[in-house]
Amino acid sequence: MIEAKIGERLSGLPVPVAVTLPSGRRIGAKAPRVRLDFRDSRALMLMTTGRIGALGSAIVEGRVGVEGRMGDAMEVAAALLPRPGFERPPGAVARFLARLRSGLRHSRSRDAHQIGFHYDLADDFYALWLDPRRVYSCAYFAADNLTLDRAQEAKLDLICRKLDLREDERFLDIGAGWGALLLWAAENYGVDATGITLSRNQHAHVTRLIAERGLAGRVRVELRDYRDLAPDRPFDKIASVGMFEHVGHANMPVYFGKLHSLIRPGGLIMNHGITAGGLDDAPVSGELGGFIERHIFPGGELIHVSQLLREAAGAGLEPLDTENLRPHYARTLRHWSNRLESRLPEAEAVLVGAHGAERAGQVLRAFRLYLAGCAMAFERGWVSLYQMLAARPDGDMQGRAMRGAQSAYPFRRDYIYADRAS
């Protein structure tokens, strides 16, 4: 019976697939582009029911083997979903309970642990497939022929231009990562820059870079939770890149309220982050969110861009400019996936040295699925990426060139792109 169901599923897939059953019998395409080796009969049911997230976990755990290009494997995964795109949104009671759980999941200690789980995995592993600056967020392909390295630099500069950074301004980078934006802003725009992170590895790396580049007088990085920043001396400009995905639904008012307290009246804030593709907390189908939670980003939670704007406005911030970079992130993830696939032996060696053979195998399999799967998800609009520029209005109706501006934003976009290098 189960073999017949598997055969039916194989016949309708967009990519030729062969399946090896736990008995050793092989069914499917004679010239497959993807091979699935089921070593566990329970995992077979996951394929027939379209529980792709659970099937991914079985691959990570070694209960299912997969061979072939990761891009082809993701095409197979998408075709197996019973409801491509999104599940039905949860009801009001379910959403209320989810918010309660969200609040419990995002204490300071739990957030620090969850950040460490991902970002402190092994710096040398990330260095294999990120660009030399280790920018771990969506690149900006300002021209079609840009390499990933140049596209990441274009993204860093785009953020600085949108914020209209000026020399000697006080700039805060929340979730500073491996320091790319922090250092770019200081070296190219002359700001006095402060970064915060919960990753001990990233904090050590950025501290070392600051010393090596002689920037200790005007650049610093702190191992600190955003909730613990004191608003006693507000910043002129703030960036938060790839960070608010870790905040949690329940803490969004706290997060945006903290941004409001940290920025001076009239100052600008850039929030760059992944957003949900579905309205009303509709999850991506196939339990894909559960896979990410378990193996990649524990504690990660996404909100829709409409909720992003609502939360910012609710905290007293004025959303000024919102840009969708979803295809840029799909392309970025394709680059990352291809780079990792080209260096698998090196990646395995690094992870074995850091975590031992068994854990290394699980991590590598998880990241191969994650990078290729997320590229597909961004291409299909299941998740998105937005840059939202906002301001804290200062109430000054006449003190700027544009009457009623109430912030440093000129209310036109030419200042961002004027004289921009290709």
* Co-location of 270 and 300 in the same domain: yes
Give Cβ neighbours of residue 205 (< 8 Å, ≥ 6 apart).
123, 134, 178, 179
In Å, the largest CA–CA distance within the chain is 78
* Size of the chain, expressed as the number of residues it contains: 422
For residue 31, give its domain range: 2-80
Q: Do 193 and 218 touch, CB atoms closer than 8 A? A: yes
Could you say which of 49, 80, 111 is where a domain stops? 80
Q: What is the pLDDT of residue 283?
A: 79
pLDDT of residue 105: 82
Same domain, 163 and 282: yes
Domain-located, residue 169: yes
Residue 95 pLDDT class (50, 70, 90 cuts):
confident
Q: Give yes or no: residues 284 and 162 share one domain.
A: yes
| Predicted confidence (pLDDT) at residue 208 exceeds the cutoff of 90 | yes
Model pLDDT for residues 358-415, shown as the tens digit of each residue:
999 999 999 999 999 999 999 999 999 999 999 999 999 988 888 999 999 999 999 9
- Asked if residue 305 lies in contact with residue 390, where contact means CB atoms within 8 angstroms, the answer is no
> Are residues 59 and 103 located together in one domain of the fold?
no
Token pair belonging to 317 = 């911030």
* Orientation of helix 70-80 relative to helix 326-341, angle to 10°: 130
State the DSSP code for 86.
Answer: B
CA distance 156 to 138: 10
Give the predicted TM-score (pTM) of the model. Answer: 0.94
341 & 278 share domain? yes
Position 1 scores a pLDDT of: 65
- pLDDT digits 0-9 by tens, 188-207: 999 999 999 999 999 999 99
Please indicate, yes or no, if residue 86 is contained in any of the structural domains: no
Q: What three-state secondary structure class fits 392?
A: coil
Pairing of strands 64-68, 34-38: antiparallel
Q: What's the pLDDT at 83?
A: 75
Please indicate, yes or no, if residue 85 is contained in any of the structural domains.
no
Residue 88 in any domain: the answer is: no
pLDDT band at 422 (very low <50, low <70, confident <90, very high): very low
Please check the confidence at residue 64 and state whether its pLDDT lies above 70: yes
Structural domain includes residue 91: no
Q: Catalytic pick from 374, 377, 391, 405?
A: 374
Q: Domain check: are 125 and 71 in the same one?
A: no
Q: How far apart are CA 58 and CA 10, in angstroms?
A: 19
Query: Is residue 89 a part of any domain in this protein?
Result: no
In the predicted model, is pLDDT for residue 86 greater than 80? Answer: no
Nearest to 37 by CA among 57, 56, 59: 59
Q: Is 160 a residue of the active site? A: no
Q: Are 52 and 77 in contact (CB under 8 A)?
A: yes
130 within domain boundaries: yes
Looking at the fold, whether 63 and 171 belong to one and the same domain comes out as: no
Based on the domain organization, do 291 and 374 belong to the same domain? Answer: yes
CATH number of the domain to which 21 belongs: 3.30.1050.10
Q: Which of 55, 80, 105 is the last residue of a domain?
A: 80
At a CB cut-off of 8 Å and minimum separation 6, what does 369 contact? 56, 59, 60, 70, 73, 291
- Residues 183 and 295 grouped into a single domain: yes
Question: Is 118 in the same domain as 251?
Answer: yes
Domain boundary among 80, 114, 133: 80
Do 370 and 271 belong to one domain? Answer: yes
Q: What's the structural domain count of the chain?
A: 2
Helix (H) or strand (E) holding 335: helix 326-341
Rounded Cα distance, 393 and 386, in Å = 22
Same domain assignment for residues 76 and 191? no
CATH number at residue 380: 3.40.50.150
Name residue 263's beta-bridge partners: 235
Read off the tokens for 334: 């394709």
